[in-house]
Amino acid sequence: MHLLDYFLNIHFKRSQGCFAIFGFLDCPMKKKEKITIHDIAMEVGVTASTVSRALNNHPRISPATKKMVLEAAKAINYKPNRIAAALRHGKSKLIGIIVPTINRNFFSSIVRGIEEYANARDYKVMISQSYDDYKKEVETIDALLDARVDGIMVSLGKNTHSFAHFESVIQKGIPLVFFDRTTDELDVNQVIIDDYSAAYQATNHLIDQGYRHIAHFTSHMKIKIYLERLRGYRQALLDNGIHFDAKMVVESNMQLDGGRNSARFLLDQSFGFDAIFSASDYAIVGALQELKKNKVKIPQEVGLIGFSNEPFTEFTEPALSTVDQKAISIGENTAALFFEMINGDPRPKPRIKKVLDANLIIRTSSSRIPNIQLNTNSTNPE
Amino acid sequence: MHLLDYFLNIHFKRSQGCFAIFGFLDCPMKKKEKITIHDIAMEVGVTASTVSRALNNHPRISPATKKMVLEAAKAINYKPNRIAAALRHGKSKLIGIIVPTINRNFFSSIVRGIEEYANARDYKVMISQSYDDYKKEVETIDALLDARVDGIMVSLGKNTHSFAHFESVIQKGIPLVFFDRTTDELDVNQVIIDDYSAAYQATNHLIDQGYRHIAHFTSHMKIKIYLERLRGYRQALLDNGIHFDAKMVVESNMQLDGGRNSARFLLDQSFGFDAIFSASDYAIVGALQELKKNKVKIPQEVGLIGFSNEPFTEFTEPALSTVDQKAISIGENTAALFFEMINGDPRPKPRIKKVLDANLIIRTSSSRIPNIQLNTNSTNPE
DNA sequence: CCAGTAAATGCAATCGATTGCGCTATTATA
DNA sequence: TATAATAGCGCAATCGATTGCATTTACTGG
């Protein structure tokens, strides 16, 4: 207590010229008098009800009054208290977003899409990360419910194999939209890209480039996107008369190390693969590193395609072909779906599933045949 | 209207078995009866005041009552309404974060640090992105104020050269903490890394490796971090008896293209540079690409070091040396500062500035001399 | 000139939790 | 055995905005 007093004393002495020395930092003199609609009411000479209605452009308030109120509000720098409003009409104007991680171009772009769409409609977003951890995802749902969000948008974590935590959201009647990493075990609106078609195109492109022994990197099969990508890969092979070999499908965590290990595995098994279509950009970079370490020439000996168009795919040597998932568009559509749910008529609707098209981006890692059709400099396949 | 009716009609017909066919989707029958402390009060046979106090572990409530209340709360699945509480005691338990973009490992890691620290203390975070756009930054501040956040943590946008929008935050007495991209024009608590020292180390390392004509990539000088990095670079040169040449400092937007252009510029001017220390990883990747395109050998002919330890620096060929900024730690310290501000005694304190150490990460792009001290294979400097 | 209607605004309750003050018992002190 | 203190809990106001209903004023038609 002595010591404390000592310090406080010093502070007190030094801070007698509060404004001069310490500026505004915690300066007790600067009392934040909150201004409410009542202050406006006083100013204009009406009641708070009228002010509230004027501010909300209620039809029963005369234009003259509205004008006065608006002006007074501006004059005294009024800021509506969203919390009070939220309490009254039960809407927080907050949207909760759960993504595995925002530290991915794909997800942060989706978030941006949602954010812009929502902000334009006077809604704000709360972003949470599940870090692909099931427990954290459950907690996060709870936290968002706690925060009284008006809706929740989710991309599932990789380890999420049970969906009970979403039932409470649904039961509370809170709009729920899934995007990208979804499940069919829940009857919920969703926005996805056409993973099947994208994978089909990617695989087809590899075949066009003369690759015939195409491996596939995938992740846990509970998540639909990986299943779909596998399906597209498989179908493209079959449609081109190429045997589908389950041994060529390698499962991993789809991170850098997973990709490295998977590539190592392929090399060790000597299946004679000449291309990899990976469901993740991270894994394909890992593979690229491992292959280069083993003096495998890309794309001459092995062709590579990733998935997601992460920025670094442009920076590798050679640049990696990949699939652009139109992340911003996914975000916008997800948000749009939410607003449809809260604005549309409340009668039950069948589940909506928006499927967007993806874009194959062809770079060097899969371009064995010169894109110009001259045969001059073309390296012959194999 | 006809068409609409038609659809609605169909829906209606199909949805008579609401639960059976459509499940819970917007099903009007599932009314969410909100449960409040009054319900608990009724259950236990006390008043809402007592329930509230029991829930908040107030000392004046008997242990017996507390137990009953807690049990009843659990039993009827009570969830406190944060909004009501927020309205009452003026605390939203929300923290607003503004970063230029979350789509960067550095920033998203900081956010993670803040988030975890805050969540552990029952606070939630709202993340907003300024996209390095001044106007957006101003709007965002406003939006956070609107949402009645209890505190704001900011990393400045690159184009932010005026700070008036923060004055309103300060005037309202809302704790404000800057991190990483800060300014000294505002008297605000801040958490930064020792950019000067990091830059000094990086430059020194290049010199150790025998590079003598070291260029520097930088950005707008209004942002302190870039100034500090420049200072560190300069001092390291001087301390090693190397002439500091302003011509070797190249300014750009610090993105990929900026880095490319800057490298192009250096090549064109033929200053005879043999290394680049860039204040951004993105710019150094651009430079790397441009140099490789011109058959410049890295690190034999030119050494490179970036800044931030973005994940892709590991993926390039060769892997890039860079500076790890301990992002998570920055986040934690930023959050900690906020809690100090709201918990500490309200008397004015002098501004706090936490300076954390950064870590030089040495990879191939700057390693001309084998790290083992044998002279056998060592390429001689110059 | 009056009933009748529409337009414009006020009154007061409400959303759910918190909290200062006050009222009883119960226990401690003299 | 008083008196004082204290523990345990209820009353009612409060936070700021919203809103159903009531009220007042103005205006129209007959």
Could you report the per-residue pLDDT of A239-289, keeping only the tens digit for each? Answer: 999 999 999 999 999 998 999 999 999 999 977 899 999 999 999 999 999
> Which pLDDT band holds residue B22 (cuts at 50, 70, 90)?
very low
Residue B347's pLDDT band (cuts 50, 70, 90): low
Q: Which nucleotide is nearest to B60 (CA to C1')?
A: D8
CB B251 within 8 A of CB B219: yes
The CA distance from A33 to A40, in Å, is 14
Sorted by sequence, the CB contacts under 8 Å of residue A287 that are 6+ apart come out as: A217, A259, A260, A262, A263, A276, A278, A304
Residue A257: its H or E element: helix A256-269
The DSSP output letter for A248 is G
Question: A189 contacts in B (CB within 8 Å)?
Answer: 25
Chain B residues in contact with A22 by the CB 8 A cut-off are 187, 348-351
Helices B256-269 and B281-293 pack at an angle, to 10 degrees, of 50
Query: Which protein residue's Cα is closest to nucleotide C7 at C1'?
Result: A60
Nearest Cα to Cα of residue A346 among B15, B70, B54: B15
The residue in chain A having the minimum alpha-carbon distance to the alpha carbon of residue B129 is A112
Nearest CA in chain B to A167: B24
The residue whose CA lies nearest the C1' of nucleotide C6 is A60
The verdict on a CB contact (< 8 Å) between B112 and A127 is no
On whether the CB atoms of residues A189 and A176 are closer than 8 A, the answer is yes
Strands B359-361 and B322-324: antiparallel
Query: Residue B348 above 90 pLDDT?
Result: no
Please report, rounded to whole angstroms, the spatial distance between the CA atom of protein residue B85 and the C1' atom of nucleotide D6: 29
Is A347's CB within 8 Å of B26's CB? yes
Walk me through the domains of chain A, giving residue ranges and CATH numbers: 1-31 (no CATH), 34-80 (1.10.260.40), 92-193+328-355 (3.40.50.2300), 195-325+361-366 (3.40.50.2300)
Give the strand pairing for A359-361 and A322-324.
antiparallel
Specify the DSSP element, H or E, that contains A124.
Answer: strand A124-129
| Alpha carbons A335 and B141: distance in angstroms, whole number | 22
Mean pLDDT estimate for chain B: 86
The model's confidence at residue B16, banded by pLDDT at 50, 70 and 90, is very low
The pair of three-digit structure tokens given for residue A90, joined into one six-digit string: 């039960």
- For A348-366, how does the pLDDT look when each residue is reduced to its tens digit (9 = 90+)? 678 899 999 999 999 999 9
pLDDT of residue A312: 86
- Looking at residue B316, what is its pLDDT? 86
Given an 8 Å threshold on Cβ–Cβ distance, is B86 in contact with A81? no
- Classify strands B124-129 and B151-154 as parallel, antiparallel or unpaired: unpaired
Mean pLDDT of chain A: 86
The protein residue nearest D17 (Cα–C1') is: A85
* B93 C-beta neighbours (distance < 10 Å), count: 17
* Under 8 Å between Cβ of B362 and B321: yes
pLDDT at B23 over 80: no
Convert the pLDDT of each residue in B197-207 to its tens digit. 999 999 999 99
How does residue B374 score in pLDDT terms, banded at 50, 70 and 90?
very low
What does pLDDT average to in each consecutive run of 10 residues of chain A (382 residues)?
30 28 35 81 95 94 95 95 94 95 90 94 93 94 93 94 92 93 91 97 97 94 87 97 95 93 93 94 94 94 96 88 96 96 76 95 92 38 32
- Quote the pLDDT of residue B346: 62
Q: How far is B186 from chain A (nearest CA, A)?
A: 10
Q: Are B327 and B109 in contact (CB under 8 A)?
A: yes
**Using a CB-CB distance cutoff of 8 angstroms, which residues of chain B are in contact with residue A81?**
87, 148
Footprint of strand D on the protein (CB under 7 A): A 34, 36-38, 48-49, 52-53, 55-56, 78, 80-81, 84-85, 87-89; B 45-50, 53, 59-62, 64-65, 84, 87-88, 90
Question: A101, A96, A100, A107: which is closest to A325 by C-alpha?
Answer: A107
